[in-house]
Chain A
Amino acid sequence: MTALDKEIQVWGGAITATVATAGEGPPLVYMHGAGGLIWNESLERLAEDFTVYAPYLPGTGEGNPTAIYSLASLQDLLLFYFDVLDALELVSPVVVGESFGGMLAAELAATNPSAIGPLVLFSPLGLWRDDAPVPNWTIMTDDELRRTMFHDPQGSAADAFFAPHLDPEAQAAAALRATWAQACSAKFLWPIPERGLRNRLHRIKSRTLVVWGESDQLVSPVYARDFTESIQGARLEMVSEAGHLVQLEQPDAFDRLVKTFVSLPAT
Chain B
Amino acid sequence: MKVTFFHFNPYRDLPADFADRYRSVWYDLPWNELASGDVAGQHLTWTLDELEHAARAGFDGIGVNEHHQNAYGGMCSPTVLGGNLAQRTSDVDVALVLCGATLPSISPPVRIAEDYAVIDCMSGGRLVAGLPLGTPMDVSLCNGIPPIEQRERYYEGLELVRRAWKQHEPMFPWNGKYFQLPGVNLWPRPIQQPMPIWIPGSGSPSTWEFAADNELCYAMLSYLGADLAQDAFDGYWNYVRSIGLDANPHRAAFVQMVVVSESFEQAERDYLEHIKYFFDKSLHIPPRMWTLPGHQTYGSLTGNKGASKQGATNAEIRANLSTWTLEDFTSRGIVVGGDPDTVREALISVTKRLHVGNLIVVGQIGSMPHDLTLKNIDLLAQEVLPGLRDAWDDGWENHWWPERLRQGDAAAPSATEIVG
Residues of A within 8 A of B (CB): 65-66, 68-69, 72, 136, 138-141, 176, 179-180, 182-184, 186-187, 189-192
Chain A neighbourhood of B140, CB < 8 A: 190-191
Given contacts A176-B301, A187-B148, A191-B144, contact A182 B293 (CB under 8 A): yes
Q: Which of B145, B152, B289, B293 contacts A183 (CB 8 A)?
A: B293
Chain A neighbourhood of B145, CB < 8 A: 190-191
Smallest beta-carbon distance B103→chain A, Å = 18
Contact between A179 and B289 (Cβ–Cβ < 8 Å)? Answer: no
Smallest beta-carbon distance B414→chain A, Å = 46
Report B330-373 residues with CB < 8 Å from chain A CB.
Answer: none
Pull 9 A–B residue pairs with CB atoms less than 8 Å apart, ordered by A.
Answer: A68-B148, A138-B293, A141-B286, A180-B301, A183-B293, A186-B148, A186-B294, A190-B144, A191-B144
Range class of the B interface residue count: 10 to 19
Contact between B147 and A190 (Cβ–Cβ < 8 Å)? Answer: yes
Question: Considering the chains assembled together, what is the distance between the CA atoms of A139 and B146 in angstroms?
Answer: 14
Question: Considering the chains assembled together, what is the distance between the CA atoms of A47 and B145 in angstroms?
Answer: 39
Known A139-B141, A190-B140; 10 more pairs at CB < 8 Å: A68-B148, A138-B292, A180-B293, A186-B146, A186-B148, A186-B293, A186-B294, A187-B146, A187-B148, A190-B144
Smallest beta-carbon distance B24→chain A, Å = 9
Contact between A187 and B301 (Cβ–Cβ < 8 Å)? Answer: no
Q: B21: CB under 8 A from chain A?
A: no
Question: Considering the chains assembled together, what is the distance between the CA atoms of A191 and B137 in angstroms?
Answer: 12
What 0/1 readout, one digit per residue, does chain B (115-157) give for beta carbons within 8 Å of chain A? 0000000000000000000000000110011111100100000
Smallest beta-carbon distance B69→chain A, Å = 13
Question: Considering the chains assembled together, what is the distance between the CA atoms of A186 and B296 in angstroms?
Answer: 13
| A136, closest chain B residue (CB) | B141
Contact between B148 and A184 (Cβ–Cβ < 8 Å)? Answer: yes
Given contacts A176-B302, A190-B140, A191-B140, contact A139 B286 (CB under 8 A): yes
Q: Which of A72, A139, A141, A191 has most chain B Cβ within 10 Å?
A: A139
Question: Considering the chains assembled together, what is the distance between the CA atoms of A179 and B291 in angstroms?
Answer: 10
Q: B177: CB under 8 A from chain A?
A: yes
Q: Which of A65, A138, A180, A186 contacts B288 (CB 8 A)?
A: A138
Chain A neighbourhood of B141, CB < 8 A: 136, 139, 191
Chain A neighbourhood of B298, CB < 8 A: 65-66, 180, 183
Chain B neighbourhood of A179, CB < 8 A: 293, 301
Smallest beta-carbon distance B286→chain A, Å = 6
Question: Considering the chains assembled together, what is the distance between the CA atoms of A139 and B286 in angstroms?
Answer: 8
Contact between A139 and B289 (Cβ–Cβ < 8 Å)? Answer: yes
Chain B neighbourhood of A141, CB < 8 A: 286, 288
Smallest beta-carbon distance B89→chain A, Å = 38
| A182, closest chain B residue (CB) | B293
Chain A neighbourhood of B147, CB < 8 A: 183, 186, 190
Chain A neighbourhood of B289, CB < 8 A: 139
Q: Which of A182, A187, A191 has most chain B Cβ within 10 Å?
A: A191
Smallest beta-carbon distance B300→chain A, Å = 11
| A191, closest chain B residue (CB) | B144
Q: Which of A140, A176, A183, A191 contacts B148 (CB 8 A)?
A: A183
Given contacts A139-B286, A179-B301, contact A187 B292 (CB under 8 A): no
Question: Considering the chains assembled together, what is the distance between the CA atoms of A189 and B294 in angstroms?
Answer: 12
Question: Considering the chains assembled together, what is the distance between the CA atoms of A201 and B245 in angstroms?
Answer: 57
| A178, closest chain B residue (CB) | B293
Question: Considering the chains assembled together, what is the distance between the CA atoms of A77 and B148 in angstroms?
Answer: 15
Question: Considering the chains assembled together, what is the distance between the CA atoms of A191 and B146 in angstroms?
Answer: 6
Chain A neighbourhood of B152, CB < 8 A: 69
Question: Considering the chains assembled together, what is the distance between the CA atoms of A72 and B294 in angstroms?
Answer: 15
Smallest beta-carbon distance A58→chain B, Å = 12
Question: Considering the chains assembled together, what is the distance between the CA atoms of A183 and B286 in angstroms?
Answer: 18
| B299, closest chain A residue (CB) | A65
Question: Considering the chains assembled together, what is the distance between the CA atoms of A179 and B148 in angstroms?
Answer: 11
